[in-house]
Amino acid sequence: MQERLQELQTEAIQKVDQAAGLKELNDIRVAYLGKKGPITEVLRGMGKLSAEERPVIGALANEVREAISARIEAKQSELEEAAVQEKLAGESIDVTLPGRPVNVGSHHPLTKIIEEIEDLFIGMGYEIAEGPEVEQDYYNFEALNLPKGHPARDMQDSFYITEEILLRTHTSPVQARTMKKHQGKGPIKIICPGKVYRRDNDDATHSHQFMQIEGLVVGENIRMSDLKGTLDVFAKKMFGQDREIRLRPSFFPFTEPSVEMDISCKMCGGHGCSVCKQTGWIEILGAGMVHPNVLEMAGYDSKKYTGFAFGMGPERIAMLKYGVDDIRHFYTNDVRFLKQFAIEE
Ligand code: FA5
């Protein structure tokens, strides 16, 4: 029996050493050390041995089992290590290969213009205020001196959701909300950027959804000359020091007096061309002194406080600044159009 055990050990170890893979090694383990293997068989037959032989054979059988086990484990580590090395060799990276080009995004031209305008006004001490796009009729119209049935409501054709709720037609409701929040106490110096909606037919200069940036200053002794000076600084910083501005009388129910601001045409230097429709000027915003009724409705004493407000369309400003001939380019998101603005970042 001793001889048989030794033979088994030699035979098993030889097979383990020759095993080419983990699967084969496991088969050897099962074959020699498993429940149905020859060593278990030997141990089972121990009952037939004499009392003196039993411990000797028992101890030898354990030794043989441990020797085979140890050899299997050593071989297993060896095979596993070899498998890892082989995998690593197969996965090696050629660091000399050129990288794949990455598509780099850029800011949308409207985002750029809005941020530029915001920075410009923040530099003049303004804060940014925001308000809801789904607005109450009260803030969009009534608080701005446009009671129900007022003919000037037709100037801004609206998307109504209910009788009292609509998509805001301009950013002016944010000035009404801000003034109300201040409860009749100045000063206020804000700009309000945001989306607005009108039932306008889309064409080269009109969109049913567009952006506006509203400005509002309220305080004591705020004068028309402050408005003109502010707009002059804005226009020159935005379009260049050589540009002239002019204010034309206009009408907005929430400002009195009201003006529209034109900027001298860059294309023709003010001589007249197709871009400025031969006038030498291009309109860029509406503005005026806050109507006393609007101040009073928000709780301000209009004898003590005055203010100016202005509202501009950043799309039109971006069109002028970047020479874009159709407002719809900003909303159709053709990457060939958008990519041109990445260069400037
Ligand atoms: C207003 O909306 C006033 N709330 C502006 C204002 C504010 C005046 C404060 C006085 C004091 P208006 O309807 O003109 O005004 O619009 C302002 C700007 O929005 C226009 O100058 C134009 O640049 C832009 N705009 C108007 N309608 C459209 C449209 N359908 N598509 C694109 N831009 C538009």
Q: Is 183 left (phi over 0), alpha (psi -120 to 50) or beta?
A: left
Q: What is the mean pLDDT of residues 161-177?
A: 96
User: Mean pLDDT: which of 40-49, 78-87, 99-108, 295-304 is highest?
Assistant: 295-304
Q: Higher model confidence: residue 163 or residue 44?
A: 163
Judged by average pLDDT, the poorest of 63-77, 177-191, 216-230, 264-278 is 264-278
User: pLDDT tier at 344 (50, 70, 90 boundaries)?
Assistant: low
What's the whole-model pTM score? 0.73
pLDDT of residue 167: 97
Ligand 1 atom 26, closest CA? 313
pLDDT of residue 227: 97
Tell me, what amino acid is at 136?
A: Q
Q: What is the mean pLDDT of residues 225-230?
A: 97
Please indicate whether residue 197, judged by its CB atom, sits closer than 6 Å to ligand 1: no
Q: What is the mean pLDDT of residues 266-279?
A: 81
Please indicate whether residue 207, judged by its CB atom, sits closer than 6 Å to ligand 1: yes
User: pLDDT tier at 345 (50, 70, 90 boundaries)?
Assistant: low
Atom of ligand 1 nearest to the CA of 171: 4
Q: Is 240 left (phi over 0), alpha (psi -120 to 50) or beta?
A: left
**b (16+ CB within 10 A) / e for 163-194:** eeebbbbbbbbbbbbbbeebeeebebbbbbbb
Ligand 1 center–CA 85 separation, angstroms: 70
- Res. 238: pLDDT tops 60: yes
Judged by average pLDDT, the poorest of 159-168, 262-271, 286-295 is 262-271
- CB-based contacts of 36, cutoff 8 Å, min separation 6: none
